[in-house]
Structure 1
Amino acid sequence: VYDLLADSEKHTAVTGRKAIISGKVGGTFSISGNDVTGINVDLVPGRRIVQAWRHRRFPEGVFSMAAVTLTPTPDGGTELVLTHRGVPKDLIPETEQTWREQYWSRIKAYLDREVRKV
């Protein structure tokens, strides 16, 4: 699951949105033609991604902080928790919808397909 969010090629394949993502702390990322840009603040492979995250519709100079924590579950799955703070109030509904539709539903569909292949 970590790689689906942190690897450029896998992210692009799963979401259908072109992604250029550095694999290094302090590195930058760009998604969907610069619709979303930012900086990797903390990366713990397989466990955590923290990014200073900016949508093109945010006011100039405003970044939010998106943190994804991944925890293995006893059944072999992964629990994913997103904490996204600092999104401008008027953009919260759109941001929530983007996470649900562009990420969580697509990641679930991708993983469902992969499980069926096994």
Structure 2
Amino acid sequence: MTITIHEEITFKTNPNTLYQALTDSKRFSEVTGGAPTDIQADAGGSFSLFGGMIEGRMIEIVPNERIVQAWRAGNWESGVYSIVKFEFQQQENETLLIFEHVGFPAGQVEHLKVGWTENYWEPLKKYVSE
């Protein structure tokens, strides 16, 4: 049985602001407090986040609608990747982010859930409120 992390988070901004924060190296670094970041925002492009603690490749990238990534933590066994999907839905003056993370190593679900909240959702909420 595959475990999926599924979250739906509302942000008080438009889809473009979230999309840019997740696909632009400079903006992602600002969101995360200056962490070293390199993002190649096109299908097949690589990314390295938090100074290499997270890395992977963009599988699909549809501006302001969807980002799908082959995603891995730097301490996972070599060659092990999971799939992460961000979908953006405009809802009046807010954006609903529908997030899914699948295919990660056993025993990682709680650690990953905390990581997504502390390293992505909370900093993004702060970033869009400034």
TM-score (norm 1): 0.90
**Any unmatched runs of 5+ in structure 1?**
114-118
- The match for 2:30 is 13
Task: Provide runs of 4+ in structure 1 moved above 6 Å.
Answer: none
The CA distance in 1 between the partners of 2:94 and 2:70, in whole Å, is 27
The CA distance in 2 between the partners of 1:71 and 1:33, in whole Å, is 30
Q: Does 1:103 align with 2:120?
A: yes
State which of 93, 96, 102 in structure 1 corresponds to 2:110.
93
- The match for 1:116 is none
The CA distance in 2 between the partners of 1:95 and 1:18, in whole Å, is 20
- For these two proteins, the number of residue pairs brought into alignment is 112
Deviation at 1:9, TM superposition (A): 0.4
Deviation at 1:105, TM superposition (A): 0.5
- The match for 1:35 is 53
TM-score (norm 2): 0.82
CA RMSD, aligned part only?
Answer: 0.9
Deviations 1:78-104 (A, max 9, x none): 100110001112222111111100110
The CA distance in 2 between the partners of 1:43 and 1:62, in whole Å, is 21
State which of 80, 84, 89 in structure 2 corresponds to 1:66.
84
The structure showing larger relative contact order (alpha-carbon pairs under 8 Å, at least 6 residues apart) is 2
**Any unmatched runs of 5+ in structure 2?**
1-17
Deviations 1:13-43 (A, max 9, x none): 0112221000110010001121111000000
The CA distance in 1 between the partners of 2:86 and 2:47, in whole Å, is 15
Higher helix share: 1
